[in-house]
Structure 1
Amino acid sequence: MNIGERIIQLRKECNISQSELAKKTAMSRTIIGNYERNANTPSIEVLAKLAKVFNVSLDFLIGEGEIASFNKDVLKRIEGIQNLDTDTKNHLFFIIDTVIQHFNTKKAFLK
């Protein structure tokens, strides 16, 4: 997915128009449209504004890096987990693994 497609996807997920996004980022609706059509490439400053409005990381917005698929809420939780002691992390990982296993079993059963 290119940057333009990602901007469209995020804008629709946030249920905001091009005009609303333009206001939130202090840009014109025409510029937003150009970014979405990949007619122009946003600068790093513009990407930072867009990431802030959409509450995602720059990696997520441009679709690069290991954590490109994580939104900021997921990243905040991961950072919090990093600060836990080993026993608490192991307990949390057990819970997460159990929930994931349950979800996958349920998903497989419903097919």
Structure 2
Amino acid sequence: MTLGEKIRIARTKKKLSQQELSDKAGTHQKNISKYEKDLVVPSATTLKAIADTLEVTTDFLLGNESFAIKDTALLKQFKEVDNMPDDEKGSLMTVISAYIRDFKTRQAYIA
């Protein structure tokens, strides 16, 4: 998937028009159109503004990760966790795994 396709898909998932995205990202609507058609590549600054507006990472838009973390606060916390010592990360992973397992069990029970 190209950069332009990812921008368009992320924009439509956020239910934003090209004009709304351009207003929030500080660029022109015509530029958004060109980016989405892969006619022009945005500058690093503009790409960051677009990613922030769409609540995805620049890595996601550039194809360096296969999924987008929509919750930017959660993404920031994951980055903080990455700086923790391995033993503390392991403890945290145990707790997270338990919550995920509990959530999946409840979802299966509901369905």
TM-score using structure 2 length: 0.71
Alignment check: 8 A CA contact 1:61 1:68 kept: no
Classify the secondary structure of the residue corresponding to 1:56. Answer: coil
Alignment check: 8 A CA contact 2:3 2:61 kept: yes
Structure 1 unaligned residues grouped into runs of 5+: none
Counterpart of 2:12 in structure 1 is: 12
Identity across the alignment (%): 31
Counterpart of 2:62 in structure 1 is: 62
Classify the secondary structure of the residue corresponding to 2:67. Answer: coil
1:22 counterpart = 2:22:
yes
**1:26-41 equivalent positions in 2, closer than 5 A:** 26-41=26-41
Counterpart of 2:42 in structure 1 is: 42
TM-score using structure 1 length: 0.71
Deviation, structure 1 residue 70: 4.2
Deviation, structure 1 residue 100: 4.4
Runs of at least 4 residues of structure 1 off by over 4 A?
Answer: 83-88, 99-108
Alignment check: 8 A CA contact 1:8 1:36 kept: yes
**1:74-89 equivalent positions in 2, closer than 5 A:** 74-82=74-82, 84=84, 88-89=88-89
* CA distance in 2: counterparts of 1:25 and 1:5, whole angstroms: 17
1:82–1:43 Cα change, 3 Å = closer
Structure 2 unaligned residues grouped into runs of 5+: none
- RMSD between aligned alpha carbons? 2.8
Classify the secondary structure of the residue corresponding to 2:6. Answer: helix
Classify the secondary structure of the residue corresponding to 2:92. Answer: helix
1:29–1:92 Cα change, 3 Å = same
Counterpart of 1:92 in structure 2 is: 92
1:40 is aligned with what amino acid? V
Question: For residues 24-82 of structure 1, what are the alpha-carbon distances to aligned partners after superposition, in whole Å with 9 as ceiling and x for unaligned?
Answer: 12322222111111122212122121122123221122111xx4534334431212323
* CA distance in 1: counterparts of 2:52 and 2:20, whole angstroms: 14
